[in-house]
Structure 1
Amino acid sequence: MAAGLVVSGLKKRYGGNWALSGVDLHVEPGELRAVIGPNGAGKSTLFGTIAGEHAPTEGKIFLDGEDLTPLSAHAKARRGISRTFQVTRNFTEMTALENVQVAVLIAMGQSRRMWRTIGADVRSRAEQALESVNMADQAHVIAGSLSQGDRKRLEIAGALAMSPRLLLLDEPTAGMSPEETEHTADLIEELWRREGITILLTEHDIGMVFRLAARITVLDRGRLLCTGDAEEVRQRDDVREIYLGVE
């Protein structure tokens, strides 16, 4: 079931640098929200902090009203938060199916079973996830031999196999050709409509952002600049200056 996300006063400091400076975010259950901004705006730090990879310096993170702020990434995954990364993190020497099975085991809190016999339940969940991203016919292909687009789709399959209530997609089309980007946009839209999960997306392809997201949040140097629909964001002079390159 989709979950609502509330981020309150989120700050993250690395040494003397503030990567996030008091970010507030409210994403409704079942919403597909985009977060955009120039390089260094804090988008990946925001995603990593929500997912539990970084502990916030200050602030709170709530999923459906439950305070998940202090939890680890594995604990948050078991609460329903899963994510993909700008640079894919597949196990390149394992098959596509094996990669997704690892994600299932992590979601079940049974990662120690990773090198033991995989049960039918785990295999079935992994196969369903591959089918959901149209990769069932590549289940036994070694991940390292897949195209960039297919490796991204595989990572999405792994995230979906964890039965998320909130899915964080960090640059899902990074490094893709225009054709692969179009196919991935179609896939994300299809998954969102079919699965009904909440999706938080960050993406440099502004055309894809305007196509997919009903609401868009803009970050700049770790601060929340604005949130609005595509037309509101497109018309703001400050957004055009910092992100779209228009003075």
Structure 2
Amino acid sequence: MRWLLWGLCIAGLAGCNPAVPGDVQEQDESDPVSGTTEGDATLPLDISGIRFTERTPGPVMVVLETELPTEADVQVYVDGYLVKEEAIPRSCQVLPAVTVCEDSVFRKVPVMIERSGEMNVEVVAMKGDRWRSESFSQTITLASCQSNQATYESELQPILRGSCERCHGNGNAGVFTADDTWPQFRTSLINRGDAFYRYPSGQDPGHDAHPFSPYDATYRLMAEMLWRAEGDFSCS
């Protein structure tokens, strides 16, 4: 599985002021993590917390707040299955008289969870002949799964209308309108998925309005709908 979904809403005009997203923010959960570590204690690796939205109509994006060693290969397992793998690059800052390289970087790592229950997470870092792992368990509570169309209409579309409609209300800004049906919006997600991630959260230039912050509740909701669209997800 590729490293997941990094961005949100999409291109438009300056001066679009967002509305507060309501229930999605009220259900936002941020919990500290107390994990079990194994391996080389000198290798920096830590999962400090997780963030997710409780009682979402499933699936849900869970964001791991991590410290990862640089120049290491990192793998993330959920319930024993490898869900992400990435080589963490060298991280250096060039100063006037010296270049300072860091031993670790702080990253937010998103994973998708499809159903309620206990989630068992393990992060493994390998650097040369050294390795270290950290694991923890967390119970995730989701509401009964809704169809893609129902979730779009009840959860995401009100946010699009509140946060994006000033620029995307009549289609002049391109790509989508806030009144698109789910089939129309799904097509836009599939065709321009990366832009829906990055532009409205300020991670890429080209979108003057930033109604969402990276990995906040509204960002994650968009990511969940993009995941549904790209994977042709349906409730079982």
Higher helix share: 1
Larger Rg: 2
Higher strand share: 2
Q: TM-score, normalised by structure 1?
A: 0.30
Q: TM-score, normalised by structure 2?
A: 0.31
